[in-house]
Amino acid sequence: MKLTWIGHSCFKLESNGYTLILDPYEDNYVPGLAPVRERADAVFCSHEHSDHNGRETVTLKQDSAPSPFTVTEIHTWHDEAQGTKRGTNCIRIFDDGSYRVAHLGDLGCELEPEQTEQLKGLDAVMIPVGGFYTIDAAQAKALIDQIQPRVIIPMHYRGESFGYDVLGTLEDFTAMCDCVVEYPGNSIELNEEMLQQVAVVKPQNIAI
């Protein structure tokens, strides 16, 4: 399975010729990122905020093959007040038969014990670390310590030239982590030999 960070919380997942886009942002909603212009078999959005629900930015294929993915949903909150501030959030686990990965969306609350159990044994997790709108770096690290995924991909943070000013930085998270691997591009291909790591990839859609 190949995972590509388009930017913010938007990812492309590819397996067996099938492509998913997760949480595409609407045009001009994330500072420093170019518009999403992708072609895919399906789109999933964790919630209905404009920096996560830009479905119209993705062209759906007309000749899709059967999906290799099974999808499990975990319904959570976008805030620590049971959604009264920012609404709901949907975590999704994608399993292609070889790898099991989760996109946590804009998770803003602590998980229930049974929800945490569902997230154990992941090959990869895409997790927000920037705080303010979501869990922050320390909360993300605490969750990672509980679920112990093999590959951790931080998202929804502020970089030097992209992201919202109110968000924390990548370094706020990685400073607490062991085995941080910086990849030269915006994609990683999961394989059985990968050791547990925080995988830092570059956003594909950095505005020029």
pLDDT digits (tens, 9 = 90+) for 18-55: 999 999 999 999 999 999 999 999 999 998 888 888 89
Per-residue model confidence as pLDDT tens digits over 56-85: 999 999 888 889 999 999 999 787 878 788
Determine the structural domain holding residue 56 and report its residue range: 2-200
20 part of a folded domain: yes
110 part of a folded domain: yes
162 part of a folded domain: yes
Q: What is the CATH number of the domain that holds 36?
A: 3.60.15.10
40 part of a folded domain: yes
34 part of a folded domain: yes
Number of domains in the chain: 1
CA distance 124 to 131: 20
Using pLDDT thresholds of 50, 70 and 90, give the confidence band for residue 114: very high
205 part of a folded domain: no
17 part of a folded domain: yes
Q: Is the dihedral of CA 130, 106, 60, 199 positive or negative?
A: positive
